[in-house]
Amino acid sequence: MKTLKDFVLKNKKVLLRSDINSDVLDKKVLPSERIKEAAETINYLIKNKAKVVVIAHQGNFGKEDFLSLKQHAKLLNKYTKIRFVDDIIGEKAVSSINKLRSGEAILLNNIRFIEDEMHPEKENNAITKTLSPLFDLYVNDAFSVCHRAQTSVVSFPKYLPSCAGLLLEKEIKSLEKISIKDCLYILGGAKPEENIKLLRGKKVLACGLFAQLCLVADGKDLGYQNEFLKKATLVKGNYYEFVKKLKTKLVNVETPVDFAVSFNKKRKEFDLDEFPLNYEIEDIGKKTLEKYLKIIKKAPAIYMKGPAGNTSKKEYAKGTYEILKAVSNCKGFTVIGGGHLSDAIKNSKINTKKFGHISLSGGALLNYIAGEKLPGLESLG
Ligand code: 3PG
């Protein structure tokens, strides 16, 4: 796979696919490690006098976090110099790209606002048709979206010389070193649909929305949370089909025995036996933590994906922080995946050096660990 070192960048128009997809709270994009790290590659390109155009996404259609990238530009400007252009493939974007000077960078708006992002196979795809002719080089710096066969991830290498960005290169080099035989999987987060790939009989500690779906699959009624899960999860296609499939895979999967909910806007814990309840679940409870920490202590190697609860609110980050602390003390190799967890490690002030590898990727890393081919990497050759 080619890297930035293989190209002369001076005066070249570079289309850079970054991943700055971040947590959103009440429509506010929270500062993230992804944003900070993405800025490193942008700075490298600026320093080398390229003309840089960044494309990226935030959230998914129909979800609350499906937002413009205007706030991201502001956050990026803490680490680099970049101007937000409120357009993607329209006249405003094209003219801004054409007017770029060497050493300047712009960020276009959320690439997922254009429907063709989801249809890379489409003939005359509006994104590639408009953008490809304007560039000299395509750089994929978004390992964390490489599991998505989406236009901005897989299509440009067909039309432009292409390579990996600094961050993508770093992730791949670290992953090549990973040895996670006899691994304990701690699977959480808000995107449960892919976790199912790792349910192959190895020990799993279920966390986050995934844990709740496991309980539902096992016949538990969580009350209000059942309805919330149907709406909140990214389970593609049929929710009921997913739960049915999950039911057949629940071998060696540990699930929570208590939960923390938002009770009069405060953290309150309830045993699983007390459900169904009319509250939204925000974290795992103390008893679950005790049970999980005992298992973590004995694990020879650990892969953790996604938080145990809602880490965007301090009072519900407890489960995630305690698990991370225990994982950081594991003697074997540990891999942490997902933007939320790298942010949580930073906020919890646990020494990052105590982990084997902290990846900014959630789903992409999981697919990699499950041995699947990642379309984004395949397309780079
Ligand atoms: C992530 O957050 O894992 C990446 O940005 C990919 O986002 P997606 O799951 O919405 O495609």
The pLDDT value recorded for residue 333 is: 86
pLDDT range class, residue 322, cuts 50, 70, 90: very high
Of residues 194, 176, 203, 272, the one with CA closest to residue 235: 194
User: What is 126-189 written as a DSSP string?
Assistant: HHHHHHGGG-SEEEE--GGGTTS--HHHHTGGGTS-EEE-HHHHHHHHHHHT---TTEEEEE-S
Ligand 1 atom 9 nearest Cα: 363
Pair type for strands 258-263 and 266-271: antiparallel
- Residue 338: predicted pLDDT: 83
Q: Please identify which residue in the block is written with the tokens 């959230």.
A: 59
Mutation probe of ligand 1 site: the residue of 191, 233, 340, 369 with most atoms within 8 A of C-beta: 191
Q: How far is CA 358 from the centre of its chain?
A: 12
Helix (H) or strand (E) holding 75: helix 70-76
Pocket test for ligand 1, best of 57, 167, 312, 342 (most atoms within 8 A of CB): 57
| Nearest CA among 183, 205, 221 for reference residue 308 | 205
Domain with CATH 3.40.50.1260 in the chain: 4-172, 178-355
Q: Which residues pair with 303 in a beta bridge?
A: 185, 335
Ligand 1 pocket (Cβ < 6 Å) reads 19, 21, 60, 144-145, 148, 191, 339, 362-363
Centre of ligand 1 to C-alpha 60, Å, is 8
Q: With a threshold of 0.75, does the pTM exceed it?
A: yes
- Higher-pLDDT residue of 238 and 8 is 8
pLDDT of residue 236: 63
Q: Of 3.40.50.1260, 3.40.50.300, 3.30.200.20, 1.20.120.920, which CATH number belongs to 178-355? A: 3.40.50.1260
Pull the structure tokens for residue 28: 């506010």
Domain 4-172 bears CATH identifier 3.40.50.1260: yes
Q: Whose CA is nearest to atom 7 of ligand 1?
A: 145
Contact status, residue 95 vs residue 118, Cβ threshold 8 Å: no
